[in-house]
């Protein structure tokens, strides 16, 4: 099983741009959809729709509800998720390929997908 979200969950993740510094993913799903475990490097997330999700990382579960237009920093993480809301999820992720220094920017924590 691949931990690359675009390989392991191609029905949800689509690579829309990539170069040597970033990879941009578009994520979509509908209520009840689940993803398999996958990893994200440090990323910026931009929500195009409002949604509610359950995220699981190891033994920890976290529910998140985000409004359309939310932008936030996501530290590198491994998780899987489930759309537990009544609306489809539509998100853009900008994954950074270069490891960076610790950031004090606003973090959305262990977020979608």
Tens of pLDDT, residue by residue over 65-99, are 999 999 999 999 999 999 999 999 999 999 999 87
Q: How far apart are CA 82 and CA 63, in angstroms?
A: 9
Examine the pLDDT at 108 and tell me if it is beyond 90: no
What is the CATH classification number for the domain harbouring 79?
2.60.120.10
Inside any domain, residue 102:
no
Q: How far apart are CA 78 and CA 84, in angstroms?
A: 19
Inside any domain, residue 79:
yes
Cβ density class 7-41: b for 16+ within 10 Å, e for less: ebbeebbeeeeeeeebbbbbbbbeeebbbebbebb
Inside any domain, residue 112:
no
Reduce the DSSP state of residue 39 to 3 states and report it: strand
Domain ranges, residue 25: 5-96
Instruction: Give mean pLDDT, residues 42-62.
Output: 96
Inside any domain, residue 90:
yes
Inside any domain, residue 106:
no
Inside any domain, residue 88:
yes
Inside any domain, residue 57:
yes
The pTM assigned to this predicted structure is 0.85
Inside any domain, residue 107:
no
Count of domains observed in the chain: 1
Examine the pLDDT at 21 and tell me if it is beyond 70: yes
């Amino acid at each position: 099983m691949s931990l690359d979200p675009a390989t392991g969950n191609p029905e949800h993740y689509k690579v829309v741009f990539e170069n040597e510094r970033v990879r941009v993913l578009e994520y979509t799903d509908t209520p009840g959809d689940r993803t398999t475990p996958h990893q994200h490097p440090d990323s910026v997330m931009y929500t195009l729709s409002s949604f509610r999700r359950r995220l699981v990382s190891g033994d920890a579960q976290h529910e998140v509800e985000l409004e359309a237009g939310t932008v936030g920093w996501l530290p590198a993480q491994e998780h899987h998720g489930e759309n537990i809301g009544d609306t489809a999820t539509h998100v853009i992720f900008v994954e950074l390929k270069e490891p960076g220094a610790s950031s004090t920017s606003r973090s959305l924590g262990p977020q979608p997908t």
